């Protein structure tokens, strides 16, 4: 679906007009002047210089009978870009310095202040992987704007965005960023953001303790953290639940993380090594059902469970659990009764041998459903370091 904008020579939609649904690098080829416009559909970026240069202004569906006074523009519109409709994910990496230098943070949603969220004092280059974005000179989506399509932007200064206007010697500082969404109301956009975050979950990993250094943000599984960060010493779970591992490819010791801040997770959770991989645990609203077996390959005693069990020995007189079949929901298995000791995350599927999964020598004595409202106290108790 294409947008449509109509430019008029005079204020209040008077005089000759020019209509377009595509980019226009030189408006004077069609009109001698432009003092009002009407965006009938879609979103557009307008510029006060030809060839998409100079100060930029975002226009969405609406009437601009005197856009210069309405938007604070000093000059007439000289060129415009049609912003294509985008329905997929949004993803962008921002860098503190030109040529992708300094701190790097990956973003998937709006950020009203990079200083508050990332402790960054500046953003001078970026790589837009998905979606269309607006960059703002000041926090909270204020000040001059810059439109970003998918691509690499090594220097904002080279794009004519000097601090002193056209021809300035220092690059524009971008302090907040917003996704360009298709004529969605603020309420709808906020609702979508909340729903997506709740459904998918989001975690941000940081190189150093206390959320310092470069960061990597994801809402998906990450089999090898070293592809994004050389190290990881803190993380923030903004929504959802995640399982983190101290080896790549979801191997090694496992630790459950729910929404919260982990400024020094190694000391908080008793981890000896850095996080090397992570799994996003999908939200589950239905029933929970799992069959546990005393022996490998579904042998020995079998018991079907639909709720938490703090001790299989007390409830079922079982001394061990070596295989299981998860029919519904997501579960945490614990090495000791009462949800203590080492853990293992299980998704729906058949697990014929825990030993073959790299969990040799582990006996699972308690099980808990992973629910969206698990308390912080449960998580802290669950993540206590195992000791002989």
pLDDT 10s digits, 313-372: 999 999 889 999 999 999 999 999 999 988 999 999 899 988 877 666 677 999 999 987
Chain-centre distance for alpha carbon 64: 34
Q: d(Cα 283, Cα 372) in Å, to the nearest integer?
A: 7
Is 19 exposed, middle or buried (CB count within 10 Å of its CB: 0-12, 13-18, 19+)? exposed
| Tokens representing residue 25 in the block | 């690098």
Taking the CA atoms of 108, 114, 120 and 122 in sequence, report the sign of the dihedral they define: positive
Q: 386 in a domain, yes or no?
A: no
Q: What is the mean pLDDT of the chain?
A: 84
CB 35 within 8 A of CB 46: no
3-state secondary structure of 186: helix
Shared-domain flag, residues 126 and 65: no
Phi, psi of 367 (to 5 degrees): -140, 145
Q: 220 in a domain, yes or no?
A: no
CB 262 within 8 A of CB 380: no
Q: What is the pLDDT of residue 103?
A: 85
With 50 as the cut, is the pLDDT of residue 5 above it?
yes
Shared-domain flag, residues 70 and 32: yes
* Owner of token pair 């503190």: 96
With 60 as the cut, is the pLDDT of residue 280 above it?
yes
Shared-domain flag, residues 95 and 175: yes
Q: How many helices (H) and strands (E) does the chain have?
A: 6, 28
Q: Which residues are 295's β-sheet partners? A: 299
Angstrom CA distances, 9 to 38, 70, 73, 366, stand at: 12, 16, 16, 75
pLDDT 10s digits, 173-226: 789 999 998 754 444 444 444 444 445 689 999 999 999 999 999 888 899 999
Provide the 10 A C-beta neighbour count for residue 315: 12
With 90 as the cut, is the pLDDT of residue 273 above it?
no
With 70 as the cut, is the pLDDT of residue 137 above it?
yes
Shared-domain flag, residues 167 and 96: yes
Q: How many CA atoms lie within 13 A of 210 on its CB side?
A: 1
Shared-domain flag, residues 145 and 123: yes
> How many domains does the chain fold into?
4
Q: Which residues are 128's β-sheet partners? A: 92, 151
- pLDDT confidence band for 161 (50 / 70 / 90): low
Of the two residues 273 and 139, the one the predictor is more confident about is 139
Shared-domain flag, residues 72 and 112: no
Q: 44 in a domain, yes or no?
A: yes
Q: Which residues are 368's β-sheet partners? A: 332
Taking the CA atoms of 22, 27, 30 and 35 in sequence, report the sign of the dihedral they define: positive
Shared-domain flag, residues 10 and 65: yes
* Owner of token pair 């669950």: 382
Q: What is the pLDDT of residue 336?
A: 92
Phi, psi of 378 (to 5 degrees): -65, -45
Q: Which of 145-149, 179-183, 234-238 has the lowest mean pLDDT?
A: 179-183
pLDDT 10s digits, 69-102: 777 777 889 999 999 888 888 999 999 889 998 8
Shared-domain flag, residues 268 and 302: no
For the question of whether the overall pTM of this predicted structure is more than 0.85, the answer is no
Shared-domain flag, residues 175 and 158: yes
Shared-domain flag, residues 122 and 163: yes
Shared-domain flag, residues 277 and 301: no
Of the two residues 383 and 119, the one the predictor is more confident about is 119
Longest dimension (CA), the chain: 89
Q: Which residues are 366's β-sheet partners? A: 334
With 70 as the cut, is the pLDDT of residue 33 above it?
yes
User: What is the domain-level CATH number for residue 28?
Assistant: 2.60.20.10
Domain of residue 125, residue span: 91-179
CB 156 within 8 A of CB 146: yes
Q: 361 in a domain, yes or no?
A: yes
Return all residues near 69 (Cβ < 8 A) that are at least 6 apart.
Answer: none
Shared-domain flag, residues 9 and 79: yes
CB 82 within 8 A of CB 22: yes
Q: d(Cα 344, Cα 93) in Å, to the nearest integer?
A: 33
| Tokens representing residue 64 in the block | 């601009």
* Owner of token pair 């500046």: 122
Which residue, 83, 112, 127, sits at the end of a domain?
A: 83
Q: What is the pLDDT of residue 187?
A: 43
Angstrom CA distances, 329 to 27, 277, 326, 382, stand at: 58, 22, 7, 19
First-to-last CA distance in the chain? 63
């Amino acid at each position: 679906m294409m947008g449509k904008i109509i430019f008029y020579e005079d204020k209040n939609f008077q005089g000759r007009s020019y209509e377009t649904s595509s980019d226009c690098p030189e408006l004077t080829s069609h009109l001698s002047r432009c003092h009002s416009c009407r965006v009938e559909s879609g979103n557009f970026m307008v510029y006060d210089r030809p060839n998409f240069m100079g100060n930029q202004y975002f226009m969405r569906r609406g009437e601009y009978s005197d856009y210069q006074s309405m938007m604070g523009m000093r000059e007439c519109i000289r060129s415009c870009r049609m912003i294509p409709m985008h329905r997929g994910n949004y993803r962008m990496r921002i860098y503190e310095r030109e040529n992708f230098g300094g701190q790097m943070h990956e973003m998937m949603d709006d950020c009203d202040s990079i200083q508050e969220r990332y402790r960054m004092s500046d953003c001078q280059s970026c790589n837009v992987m998905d979606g269309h974005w607006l960059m703002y000179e000041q926090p909270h989506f204020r000040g001059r704007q810059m439109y970003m399509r998918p691509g690499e932007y090594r220097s904002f200064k080279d794009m004519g965005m000097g601090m002193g206007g056209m021809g300035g010697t220092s690059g524009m500082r971008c302090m907040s960023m917003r996704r360009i969404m298709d004529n969605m109301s603020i309420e709808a956009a906020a609702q979508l953001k909340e729903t997506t975050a709740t459904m998918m979950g989001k975690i941000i990993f940081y190189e150093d303790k206390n959320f310092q250094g470069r960061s990597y943000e994801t809402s998906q599984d990450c089999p090898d953290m070293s592809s994004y960060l050389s190290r990881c010493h803190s993380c923030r779970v903004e929504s959802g639940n995640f399982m983190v591992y101290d080896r790549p490819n979801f191997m090694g010791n496992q630790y459950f993380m729910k929404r919260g801040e982990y400024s020094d997770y190694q000391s908080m959770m008793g981890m000896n090594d850095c996080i090397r991989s992570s799994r996003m645990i999908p939200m589950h609203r239905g029933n929970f059902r799992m069959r546990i077996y005393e022996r490998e390959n579904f042998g020995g005693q079998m018991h079907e469970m639909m709720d938490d069990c703090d001790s299989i020995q007390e409830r079922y007189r079982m001394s061990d659990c070596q295989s299981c079949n998860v029919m519904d929901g997501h579960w945490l298995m614990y090495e000791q009764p009462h949800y203590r000791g080492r853990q293992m995350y299980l998704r729906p599927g058949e697990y014929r041998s825990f030993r073959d999964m790299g969990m040799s020598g582990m006996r699972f004595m308690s099980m808990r459903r992973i629910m969206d409202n698990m308390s912080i106290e449960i998580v802290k108790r669950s993540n206590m370091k195992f000791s002989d």
